[in-house]
Amino acid sequence: MGALPLSFPSGYEDSRARFRNYLDRVRGRWPSARLGQHRLAGDEDLTIDWLQAEPAEGKEQVLLMTTGEHGIEAYVGAAMLDHLVEDYLPRLDPRRTGLLLVHAINPWGMKYRRRVNRDNIDLNRTFMWSQPTGAPTAALHDPAFNPDYGKLTGAFQPEGELGVYALAELSFMAKLAQGIAQVGFSRLGTASALGQYAYPRGIYYGGKDRPEETSVLMNLYRQCFEHYQQVVQLDMHTGYGPRYQMSVVTSELEPRASADLQKQFGYPLVVKANAAEFYALKGDMIDYVYTLWREEFPDRRLFSTTFEFGTLGDSLFNQYGDRRAVVFENRLHWYGASRPAVRARVERDFKELFFPEAPDWCAKARADFRQAADGILRAEGVLRREA
């Protein structure tokens, strides 16, 4: 595998071209394979791309892999797509298993190495269920949701140009301490990640209505359920959790317990996206997939999960580093920095939070992907029986 066993693209355009070049390789086993895309509104050439392939003998199951919901996380996602295409597609049965591979759900964020889209929206706070389909969604983006965030804006979205880094960090630490004194440590952590719909320049902002990117993915999910009896999804994320142990994060709506899934998959770290096991959030994409299944396609089979590749670690010190990186990057975007060195430091810390290039981290991330994917795809009957 060499010193760097993950192949990161140099940028969004490079990654998209590499993804589109998968087509010929996939067509060798799935003659029906084709590319699809949705070009985002605006002047830039930004597209959500997907590759889909139908099985030859019957639409029994589909393997769905999604990347880049948080734009900067698409770099690791692109590397894992490479791994899937190279090492897993030969182990699937093209007679009964279809494919849907999605590149860069958030292409703007990938291009500009931000977590959010061009409107500062965290797409993973926007997958709210509305029934009937097509009903107004603005009411779901409730600005009164998560009132603790509004009490902590001094810490979560400080204003003004970043000056001396050490002074900015001292101010951030002081405001965090004030926040802990005001609402408590646990509520402070929940308020920062839960999602909020009132502060457009804040972190984890979910917007005022359903974003374009979210609608595209919702339509793709519906197509999967309409055409296949079984859907198995692997969604790639980075940033949270132990540095050297990828977390398999399932929906709160997954009926099987985490401990049971660990045994079934032969993987040591399976958790649910709730406050007890991981962290809670509103508008989660995997929760939406489960709700769609439960509400409209209960006769289908589903397993949908996130592979969360931790980067800094999960100690209290590292959790502080995680929040600082997100808050400082957001402040840099809105207000800039007085010195090039400060800008470079903030951008470096943010990149390290979402795609470290240390060879030992890359090697462990790839090994964890393989262990978890092997366990899940075997347990769900996706790998060929002789594989």
Give the tens place of pLDDT for each residue, 329-372. 999 999 999 999 999 999 999 999 999 999 999 999 999 999 99
pLDDT at 58: 87
Asked if residue 296 lies in contact with residue 288, where contact means CB atoms within 8 angstroms, the answer is no
Q: Would the pLDDT of 4 be above 70?
A: no
Amino acid at position 146, single letter: N
From 29-43, 134-148, 200-214, 243-257, the region with the lowest mean pLDDT = 134-148
> How far, in Å, are 76, 148, 154, 171 from residue 203 at the CA level?
22, 13, 12, 18
Q: Would the pLDDT of 259 be above 80?
A: yes
Residue from 343, 341, 321, 340 nearest 332 by CA: 343
Q: Which residues pair with 162 in a beta bridge?
A: 337
- Residues 3-17, mean pLDDT to the nearest whole number: 86
Q: Residue 211: is the preceding peptide bond cis (ω within 30°)?
A: no
Q: Would the pLDDT of 131 be above 80?
A: no
All residues at 6 or more sequence positions from 304 whose CB lies less than 8 Å from its CB, including other chains: 64, 231, 232, 233, 235, 250, 251, 254, 286, 289, 290
- Residues 225-232, mean pLDDT to the nearest whole number: 97
pLDDT at 277: 85
Distance CA 239, CA 324 (A): 13
Confidence of residue 279 (pLDDT cuts 50, 70, 90): confident
Mean pLDDT estimate for the chain: 94
Q: Would the pLDDT of 132 be above 70?
A: no
SS3 for 209?
Answer: coil
Answer whether 0.85 is exceeded by the pTM. yes
Question: Could you report the per-residue pLDDT of 63-103, keeping only the tens digit for each?
Answer: 999 999 999 999 999 999 999 999 999 999 999 999 999 99
First vs last C-alpha separation in the chain: 21
Confidence of residue 185 (pLDDT cuts 50, 70, 90): confident
Asked if residue 277 lies in contact with residue 258, where contact means CB atoms within 8 angstroms, the answer is yes
pLDDT at 163: 95
- Residues 1-9, mean pLDDT to the nearest whole number: 65
pLDDT at 68: 98
Identify the CATH homologous superfamily for domain 12-128+210-311+355-379: Zn peptidases (3.40.630.10)
pLDDT at 88: 95
Confidence of residue 318 (pLDDT cuts 50, 70, 90): confident
Confidence of residue 1 (pLDDT cuts 50, 70, 90): very low
Q: Would the pLDDT of 3 be above 50?
A: no
Q: Where are the domains of the chain?
A: 12-128+210-311+355-379, 142-204+317-349
Q: Would the pLDDT of 115 be above 50?
A: yes
Q: Would the pLDDT of 49 be above 90?
A: yes
